[in-house]
Structure 1
Amino acid sequence: MITRDMTALRAVNGGHALLRAYDFIICGGGTAGCVVARRLAEGGKATVLLLEAGGSHHVPAIMDSTQWMWNIGTERDWDFVSEPSVGLNGRTPPMPMGRALGGGSSINGQVWARGHRNDFDSWASLTGDASSSYERVLDIYRRIENWHGRPDPRRGVGGPVDITLPESPIPLVEALIASADGQGIPSADDINTDPMEGDGGCGLPNVLVRNGVERVSMATAYLDPVAPLPNLHVLVGAEVERIGLRGSHVGSVVFRRFGQRYEVEVIREAVLSLGAINTPKVLMLSGIGDPAELASHGIPCHHALRGVGENFQDHILLGGCIWEYETPELPRNNAAEFAFFCKSDASLPTPDLMPVLEECPFASEVTARQFDLPVGPASAWTLAPGLARPKSRGRVRLRGADPALVPAIETNFLSDPDDVRALIRGVEICREIGNDLRLAGFRRREVMPGALRGGDLEMFVRNASGTYFHQSCTARMGRPDDPLAVVDPMLRVLGIEGLRVADASIMPEITSANIMAPVVVIAERAGDFIRQTHGLG
């Protein structure tokens, strides 16, 4: 049974009774949803409801920036798991996604990486929309950022998101920068400027951390400042099940909370900001998707869009190249205070590798059994090879018409041999850096993988690889003649009035860096488009 009486439900901000209808309903209070909710609620001209399946971000496990890894697998994680991947020797790696206000920005490693110039220029080419280009996106970044590092005309100051460099990083970091620079990966004061416009570089990542230990999520940056607004209602514990359609127009949103289903009316628009797994799931449960896929689960097809759930992409993070400390060192800041971008092949136009320091032993479930890992978070450090430009593609499918069923995530990791070759080179580069003489005082021994070659090294890569937590591209933005396009350049779902998508699923291709910052750009653009459409100023 579905109830339309909202009076028993109260928003967490101010205890307001929920309305039966809202101008705008944002489905998902993650990284993008928090941004869109703020932009639509500002000015008080429209009523806005933000629905989040998880709970509040104001808990110690989220706010402590050094503890982010320990949120994985808890109630603050959707706890998704990949289907078996042939390219990973049949393994089923976990696929963490944030389940709390702030979403991924509340449980991730807090790295602010803008993406490469070529990423956005490629989006502009693929969609025919110049507003996706790097130069236009730079303007959006400038208004988002409150940059506390070296001044640069490409950076923003005074925006809602505090961005800084790690404060007093562990001593290992300086040696890693010197080693990488010596290997031909130039050090940079700001890894988000020249390295993201050229052939890469190394250095301290931009981080969303205050006072060395306090996380800056999109919930704290965007949502908390507007929480007192009476026209913004935020409801946690509300899991969106489907969009109610009236012909080709959005009419309502159906969600479940504590076992009860509710339906709230949409006056102007609904926005899906549920992430690259749940956004295609809700679209398909609403009858929007591949007709054959929907028919196989007995779901009537209201609008055929074959690309829903297709084109799944994710960065690969490999666990990992590990060295035991000579002198144990506890993690600081975001526990990942060094990163670099480089090319596996000099002929490539864009860096395709994005390794990162993990200030603890970091291994897969297979490699952890194969090697003699030190015990304890301060015992060892890891250079984790990362793949920035994967060629492998997967998809997200329904398991059935019941919204309670977890979708099938066919990651298809390492199905393209070029991805394997790139990661093999990534392991080699990380070992060259980690075994450099400049790091002699920081390593007692190399734990793994050691000097593997040929098939043994390939097997290690397949056994060690998993997600970088950057699921994307399952409702991609494209031209009208793109057979897999789901949204247009203004993020409107093709063929459906009053419905947009604003999250990582709209990426035509994944950006060549951590995706939180580009997702904030996507959400800011969605806010602009919606405000312009409805005259909100």
Structure 2
Amino acid sequence: MYDFVIVGAGSAGCVLAARLTADPDVSVLLIEAGPPDSAPEIKIPMAWPQHFKTPLDWDYATEPEPGLDGRRRNLPRGRTLGGSSSINAMIYMRGNPADYDEWAGAGARGWGWDDVLPYFKRSEDNERGAGDLHGAGGPLKVRDLRFKHPLMEAVLDAAAQAGHERNDDVNGPSQDGFGWLQVTQDNGLRQSTADAYLHPAAERPNLTVMTGTTVTRVLIEDGRAVGVEVLNGQERSEVRAEREVVLSAGTYNSPQLLMLSGIGHSAELAPLGIAPVADLPVGDNLQDHVFFGLVYQTDEESLSTAGTPENIALLFGEGRGPLTSNIAEATGFYRTAPDLTAPDIQVHAGAVMLVEEGLGAPVHHAFTVAPTLLRPTSRGRVTLRGPNPTAKPRILHNYLTTEEDRRTVVRAIRQALEIVEQPALAKFRGAPISAPEGTDDDSILRFARCTLSSIFHPVGTCAIGAVVDEDLRVKGVDGLRVVDASVMPTIVRGNTNAPTVMIAERAADLIAGRTAP
């Protein structure tokens, strides 16, 4: 028996486990399906695409996407301590203040920008120091890049030539403009939430961490969550929670577990032999960021040849060199229409040939400029394939199925092409590897449908207001919360790892009954 059972030791679960066990009178069990995060390659920042389709990855994929002419898309998710923060590109990005005020305005009380900013600051140890918008001394180390590829400086210069402002802090007073990213690294190595939160708390006697263990369902008795059923090898057993069960399994797995436990669309669960417990729109409202890689050959040496013994020694010996790169070193935010109140596009740029959703092997020195759709209007769903808890969920994102998304993407790619064509980049730009065949709308849209890739930011399937209340408690079931990116009502304008950490920081206070920092 534990006070709290947390399912999923990812970006949110590690934060929760550390914050809750700061009280010595509270006992916590943290359950992770994947292995410990002991693989040395996890620490190498530039190696993140190499984790895809390994034992560190849940290795999900979409169903055939109707907006992409039936193509499936790769959906990697971290399956180890630290979750996706152990396999992601380490980008520290909060989103736009308007995102959170929109949540609050739609009924998510306590989640407006002024409410969540203190939690961002509490989590953060920014090497630039503390201020009105940044924190110092928190667990999560936020650092400037130790390696900046010259091609990315050319991207920033080209953006300026195309009329975009320079922005040295896209988490600062204004999000618009182009600049260098900050990353979650420590001495040039990846810092996951397991590194930042979980491992420092590992010796606490009130924290138990169980890896290699799959949770198959939440145990619900008389309308209350009382524990979970787990599968370890071929052995099933039950673990009890005295106070609460908390699902931090992510946007795909948290709704899957709820549905396996009878919480979801009752009309869909009953035919699977799952007794309905609460009729809620679990799995609906799925949202994601997608990008479209404009890739060009170059005569400059790219990052694709950085994995030398000398650079490996430089990384682990001195914490510097090209292997400290997160690949996507430069970023930028812009608006595709003058009447928008905030950016609707983010550019991710890297000095590498990034093709085939990050799965393709680089065969040329190249650079990539990838506009990313920040506020998609398309909505997808996560559903069950059947009652078997070890089966992968059915995931349909419905990418590019709205006319608004298609129009926005065409404008976004056209504006990104303007950046690529500026003199600062033209002198480095060789033959296109991935680019539209023409400049007309139809050519650009065909390119978009063929090259669209998730940038791995799924949210929304257990949204505040629909599935959970503003305190993240599952409606209609006592003793059960969801704490991860799935609770976001709408996706934020930017990378989603830092917001997920913030959600868990605030949830820890909600659970413990503590006041905001």
The aligned residue for residue 295 of structure 1 is 270
Contact map agreement 2:13 2:30 (CA 8 A) in 1: yes
Q: 1:425 to 1:300 in 2, by over 3 A?
A: same
The question of 1:192 aligning with 2:184 is answered no
How big is the shift at 1:174? 1.6
* Alignment of 1:210 onto 2:186: yes
Question: Aligned match of 2:298 in 315, 322, 325?
Answer: 325
Amino acid at match of 1:271: V
CA contact (8 A) 1:57 1:63 kept: no
Q: What's the secondary structure of 2:239's corresponding residue?
A: strand
2:339 aligned with 1:388, yes or no?
Answer: no
Residue 358 of structure 1 deviates from its aligned partner by 3.0
Q: Distance in 2 between matches of 1:295 and 1:503?
A: 27
What amino acid maps onto 1:325 in structure 2? Answer: T
The percentage of counterpart residues that share the same residue type is 39
User: What residue is the counterpart of 2:26 in the other structure?
Assistant: 46
Query: Is residue 133 from structure 1 mapped to residue 112 from structure 2 by the alignment?
Result: yes
Question: Closer, same or farther in 2 for the Cα pair 1:25/1:195, shift >3 Å?
Answer: same
1:353 aligns with 2:329: no
SS of alignment partner, residue 194 of structure 1: coil
Deviation at 1:304, TM superposition (A): 1.5
Q: Does 1:468 align with 2:455?
A: yes
Going from structure 1 to structure 2, the CA distance change for 1:447 and 1:395 (only over 3 Å counts) comes to same
Q: Secondary structure at 1:311's aligned position in 2?
A: coil
By how many angstroms is 1:97 displaced?
Answer: 0.7
User: Which has the higher mean CA deviation after the structures are superposed, 254-263 or 179-188?
Assistant: 179-188
Alpha-carbon distance change, 89 to 450 in structure 1, aligned in 2, over 3 angstroms: closer
Deviation at 1:451, TM superposition (A): 5.3
Structure 1 residues 89-98 or 142-151, which shifts more?
142-151
Deviation of the 1:504 alpha carbon: 0.6
Residue aligning to 1:482: none
1:102 is aligned to 2:102: no
Q: Is the contact between residue 191 and residue 206 of structure 1 (CA under 8 Å) also seen in structure 2?
A: no
State the Cα deviation string for residues 298-324 of structure 1 (Å, max 9, x = none).
11101211x101001111122x10111
> Are the counterparts in 2 of residues 353 and 386 from structure 1 also a CA contact under 8 Å?
yes
**Deviation of residue 448 (structure 1)?**
2.8
Deviations 1:264-295 (A, max 9, x none): 11100010000011101100110111110111
- 1:55 shift after superposition: 1.0
1:489 aligns with 2:477: no
1:446: how far off? 3.2
The structural deviation recorded for 1:68 is: 0.4
Which residue is 1:115 aligned to? 95
Confirm or deny that 1:337 pairs with 2:323. no
SS at match of 1:266: strand
Q: Is the 8 A contact 1:367 1:463 kept in 2?
A: no
Amino acid at match of 2:363: V
TM-superposed deviation, 1:123: 0.6
**Given the alignment, which residue of 154, 158, 163 partners 2:137?**
158
- SS of the aligned residue for 1:195 comes to coil
For residue 422 of structure 1, the aligned residue among 369, 387, 408 is 408
Partner Cα distance (1:416, 1:463) in 2: 17
CA shift, 1:45, in A, is 1.3
Misfit runs of 4+, over 6 Å: 365-368
**TM-score normalised over the length of structure 2:** 0.93
Q: 1:147 to 1:22 in 2, by over 3 A?
A: same
Match of 1:311 among 269, 277, 285: 285
Residue by residue, what CA displacement relative to the aligned partner does 1:158-195 show, whole Å, maximum 9, x if unpaired?
10000011113011122211211222321112111133
Cα distance in 2 for residues equivalent to 1:441 and 1:149: 34
Give the CA deviation at 1:459: 0.8
Most deviating of 386-395 and 248-257:
248-257
User: Cα–Cα, structure 1 residues 496 and 422, in superposed 2: closer, same or farther, change >3 Å?
Assistant: same
- Retained in 2: the 8 A contact 1:355–1:426? no
Q: Does the aligned pair in 2 maintain the 1:202–1:339 contact within 8 Å?
A: yes
Length-normalised TM-score, structure 1: 0.89
Give the secondary structure class of the aligned counterpart of 2:174: helix
The whole-number CA distance in structure 1 between the counterparts of 2:92 and 2:370 is 18
Provide structure 2 residue ranges, at least 5 long, that are not aligned to the other structure.
307-321
Task: Name the Cα RMSD after superposition.
Answer: 1.9
Q: For structure 1, which segment, 462-471 or 142-151, has the greater mean C-alpha deviation from structure 2 after superposition?
A: 142-151
2: CA distance between counterparts of 1:256 and 1:450? 48
Per-residue deviation, residues 474-533 of structure 1 (Å, max 9, x unmatched): 00001xxxxxx1000000001111110000110100111110011011101110011118
Secondary structure of the 2:272 match is coil
Asked if 1:516 corresponds to 2:497, the answer is: yes
Distance 1:222 1:309 in 2: 29
The AA in structure 2 aligned to 1:45 is: D
- CA distance in 1 between partners of 2:289 and 2:238 (Å): 36
Deviation at 1:364, TM superposition (A): 3.1
Spell out, residue by residue over 1:210-253, the C-alpha distance to the aligned partner (whole angstroms, 9 max, x if none).
333x1010000000110110110001001111000011111111
Structure 1 residues 252, 367: CA separation in 2 closer, same or farther (over 3 Å shift)? closer
Q: Which structure 1 segments of 5+ residues have no match?
A: 1-20, 479-484
CA contact (8 A) 1:364 1:465 kept: no
Mapped pair 1:529 → 2:510: yes
Provide the rounded CA distance (Å) in 2 between the counterparts of 1:26 and 1:334: 30
**1:88 counterpart residue number:** 68
Residue identity in the other structure for 1:316: V
For the residue of structure 2 that corresponds to 1:296, the secondary structure is: helix
